[in-house]
């Protein structure tokens, strides 16, 4: 396999992830793509212990949008991955905690966790040569494993406080 096909494959994955994260953001805020919209999303966030719900919806949506733009452009990809991964881990973990189920079809968070896994993969491979990070030869471009590890650790650490809030809210409701 030549490097051009790998770079094209990474570009396709980044574009796909960017679209999914954009869609998630606009589902929450605007009700696009069969989304719940702001008020219903805020009510769900409140139920999951993410208070105040409306503000937390804005935060989650802005994180998803920032990660989408980063991935689409291939710019500051380790930061975009950390933001997106943390957001998806919170989404998946909160759904699993609230429903007691893993699979998405049963109300669990398997799908956001899968997105987090793909984001982690991008963190470790790097965005490829068809990316602004590579074009500008940013410091992490030559160290994808180190940048990937940092992105994953930062994303997971950022996810901990909201996950603890969800756990407390669900435990308090039962």
Per residue, what are the HEC states of 95-116?
HHHHHCCCCHHHCCCHHHHHHH
Q: How many domains, in total, are found in the chain?
A: 1
Is residue 170 in a domain? no
CB 163 within 8 A of CB 90: yes
Is residue 73 in a domain? yes
Give the SS3 label for residue 32.
coil
Backbone angles phi, psi at 87, to 5 degrees: -65, -40
Is residue 171 in a domain? no
CB 41 within 8 A of CB 94: no
138: left (phi over 0), alpha (psi -120 to 50) or beta: beta
Is residue 63 in a domain? yes
Is residue 172 in a domain? no
CA 76 and chain centroid, separation: 15
Is residue 95 in a domain? yes
- Its domain, for residue 121, covers 3-164
Give the SS3 label for residue 153.
helix
Residues 6+ apart with CB under 8 A from 69: 18, 75, 80
The tens digit of pLDDT for each residue in 67-120 reads 999 999 999 999 999 999 999 999 999 999 999 999 999 999 999 999 999 999
CB 64 within 8 A of CB 22: yes
Give 133's pLDDT tier (boundaries 50, 70, 90): very high
The tens digit of pLDDT for each residue in 28-65 reads 999 999 999 999 999 999 999 999 999 999 999 999 99
Is residue 169 in a domain? no
Give 121's pLDDT tier (boundaries 50, 70, 90): very high
CB 79 within 8 A of CB 119: no
User: Would the pLDDT of 1 be above 80?
Assistant: no
Question: Is residue 111 classed exposed, middle or buried when 0-12, 13-18 and 19+ CB atoms within 10 A define those classes?
Answer: middle
pTM summary value: 0.94
């Amino acid at each position: 396999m030549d490097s051009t096909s790998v770079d094209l494959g990474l570009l396709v994955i980044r574009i796909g992830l960017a679209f999914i994260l954009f869609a998630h953001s606009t589902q929450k805020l605007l009700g696009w793509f069969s989304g719940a919209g702001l008020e219903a999303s805020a009510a769900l966030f409140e139920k999951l212990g993410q208070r105040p719900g409306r503000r937390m919806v804005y935060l989650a949506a802005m994180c998803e949008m920032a990660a989408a733009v980063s991935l689409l452009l291939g710019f500051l990809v380790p930061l975009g991955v950390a933001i997106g991964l943390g957001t998806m881990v919170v989404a998946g973990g909160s759904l699993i905690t609230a429903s007691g189920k893993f699979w998405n079809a049963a109300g669990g968070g398997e799908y956001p966790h899968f997105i987090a896994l793909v984001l982690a993969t991008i963190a470790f491979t790097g965005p490829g040569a068809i990316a602004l990070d590579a074009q500008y030869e940013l410091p992490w471009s030559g160290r994808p494993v180190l940048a990937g590890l940092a992105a994953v650790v930062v994303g997971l650490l950022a996810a901990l406080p909201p996950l603890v809030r969800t756990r407390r809210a669900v435990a308090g409701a039962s």
